[in-house]
Amino acid sequence: MNLPIYMDYHATTPVDPQVVEAMLPYFTEKFGNPASRQHQFGWIAEEAVESARNIIAKAIGAEPREIIFTSGATEANNLAIKGIAEAWKQKGNHIVTAATEHKSVLDTSKKLEKYGYQVTYLPVDEYGLINLNHLSEIITSKTILVSIMTANNEIGTIQDVGAIGKLCHGRGVFFHTDAVQAIGKFPINVQTMNIDLMSLSAHKVYGPKGVGVLYVRSINPKVKLTMQMDGGGHERGIRSGTLNVPGIAGLAKAVELVVGLMDVETKRMKNLRDKMWNEFQSQLDEVYLNGHPTQRLPNNLNVSFLNVEDNALMMSMKDVAVSTGSACSTVDLEPSYVLKAIRVSKERHHSAIRFGLGKFTTEEEVDYVINRVVESVKKLRELSPSYYKQKRVVNV
């Protein structure tokens, strides 16, 4: 076992060696531009891109022409929301999302508000789930888009995406979901789930950073988007820019691998995750799970250790890489807006640690992390006046 141990797989993942192998030829001998259709170098690159399109489409139940390559999920989210807002502004100006969405959805929505769009930010319950009845009530004739993430990147809560999609389609509203954390964790089918737009990212599934996908439904209903980057009309006129062929080849291989190993890996990660949680509960008091107890990602564990500051706990075990929340919000020193949205207490809020397991996490590493966390929490609590006072009162 090598130190430090990585348990921040929600932030990013190491690139699978098989993915690297799939990418390598497109850096050197197969370096052509897929838009160069006058010669063999371009044809070979285009063939790689179209092969990737087929692989990704098959994995999510889509058609290859519905796969649009982007620089990542942040761009995909921006393109989906702004693209719908601009293309359908004659129909309406109302967008619905949730308070616990990724910043690339929330900040994009706030930007649109400055241009006269009305955005409803749905509250969530104590587990992070939206209320479908509430969603139904706030959809109006002016609503053009609902954007709800499939699985939350901080607390792991999984929304009932199929029910949300069915509701949206029944009301004639487009449905977009950020499925970055969900792909490869459980089956996703854009047809049966009534998804019109879906964002994916390579670096969350053991692929390279800087490449992602926006799925855009082409029929029943046909989704029309206004492109947000001009210049060249690439990707069916939806997203201009020279395609990242090595990244796209890597993304396709990564998706193929995680979907192929999904059943085995999901069970394995869930068992390791549950082992951690059970040991924390048995060896420590005042530990609380944040997020839904069962309807959550198999590799996610967000725990509050009361009377221990989150940053102090992380600093006390520098040989373990964990986090206090989203890697996309690290410049913000404010407490997690996701934990705030599920209304955890101030004490739980400031003592929350997110553990993210992955395909390279071993049981030996999990055992080591359990021991380090328990040891560190006990040591820090000994130095905590509030914990000492609390235990003294209990003993009396």
pLDDT at 106 over 70: yes
pLDDT band for position 396 (cuts 50, 70, 90): very low
d(CA 194, CA 175): 8
Q: Tell me the CATH number at 41.
A: 3.40.640.10
Query: Do residue 271 and residue 158 come from a single domain?
Result: no
Query: Do residue 53 and residue 200 come from a single domain?
Result: yes
pLDDT at 377 over 60: yes
Query: Do residue 363 and residue 296 come from a single domain?
Result: yes
List residues bridging with 97 in a β-sheet. Answer: 121, 147
pLDDT band for position 324 (cuts 50, 70, 90): confident
pLDDT band for position 388 (cuts 50, 70, 90): low
pLDDT at 331 over 80: no
Q: Which residues does the annotation mark as catalytic?
A: 328
Q: CB of 193 within 8 A of CB of 162?
A: yes
Query: Do residue 162 and residue 34 come from a single domain?
Result: yes
- Report the Cα 17 to chain-centroid distance in Å: 22
Query: Do residue 28 and residue 107 come from a single domain?
Result: yes
pLDDT at 236: 84
Q: How many domains does the chain have?
A: 2
pLDDT at 232: 78
Query: Do residue 268 and residue 230 come from a single domain?
Result: no
The closest alpha carbon to 298, from 261, 326, 254, belongs to 261
Mean pLDDT score of the chain: 94
Which of 217, 242, 260 is the last residue in one of the domains?
Answer: 260
Longest dimension (CA), the chain: 85
What digits encode the pLDDT tens for the residues 265-321? 999 999 999 999 999 999 999 999 999 999 999 999 999 999 999 999 999 999 999
pLDDT band for position 127 (cuts 50, 70, 90): very high
Question: Where is pLDDT greater, at 117 or 230?
Answer: 117
Which of 229, 260, 291 is the last residue in one of the domains?
Answer: 260
pLDDT band for position 325 (cuts 50, 70, 90): low
**Residue with tokens 């490869």, as numbered in its chain:** 184
Cβ atoms within 10 Å of 153's Cβ, excluding its own? 27
DSSP at 25: G
pLDDT at 231: 85
Torsion angles phi and psi, residue 281, rounded to 5 = -65, -40
pLDDT band for position 109 (cuts 50, 70, 90): very high
The strand order across the sheet containing 212-216 reads 67-70, 212-216, 197-201, 174-178, 143-147, 94-98, 118-122
The closest alpha carbon to 48, from 76, 74, 24, belongs to 24
pLDDT at 326 over 60: no
pLDDT at 389: 59
Query: Do residue 82 and residue 211 come from a single domain?
Result: yes
pLDDT at 338: 97
Q: CB of 317 within 8 A of CB of 372?
A: yes
Amino acid at 258: V
The domain of 172 spans 17-260
Share of the chain above pLDDT 90, in %: 90
Q: What is the DSSP string of 69-96?
A: EESSHHHHHHHHHHHHHHHTTTT--EEE
DSSP, collapsed to helix, strand or coil, labels residue 322 as: coil
Query: Do residue 182 and residue 196 come from a single domain?
Result: yes
Q: Tell me the CATH number at 286.
A: 3.90.1150.10
Which of 240, 260, 280 is the last residue in one of the domains?
Answer: 260
Query: Do residue 217 and residue 293 come from a single domain?
Result: no
Query: Do residue 217 and residue 344 come from a single domain?
Result: no
pLDDT band for position 391 (cuts 50, 70, 90): low
pLDDT band for position 221 (cuts 50, 70, 90): very high
Q: CB of 359 within 8 A of CB of 311?
A: no
Query: Do residue 230 and residue 275 come from a single domain?
Result: no
pLDDT at 333: 53
d(CA 234, CA 379): 57
Q: Which residues, other chains included, contact 260 with Cβ-Cβ below 8 Å and sequence gap of 6+?
A: none
pTM of the model: 0.94
Q: CB of 258 within 8 A of CB of 248?
A: no
Query: Do residue 253 and residue 274 come from a single domain?
Result: no
d(CA 106, CA 128): 16
Instruction: Tell me the CA end-to-end span of the chain in Å, nearest whole number.
Output: 44
Residue-wise over 13-32: b if at least 16 C-beta within 10 A, else e? bebbeebbebbeebeeebeb
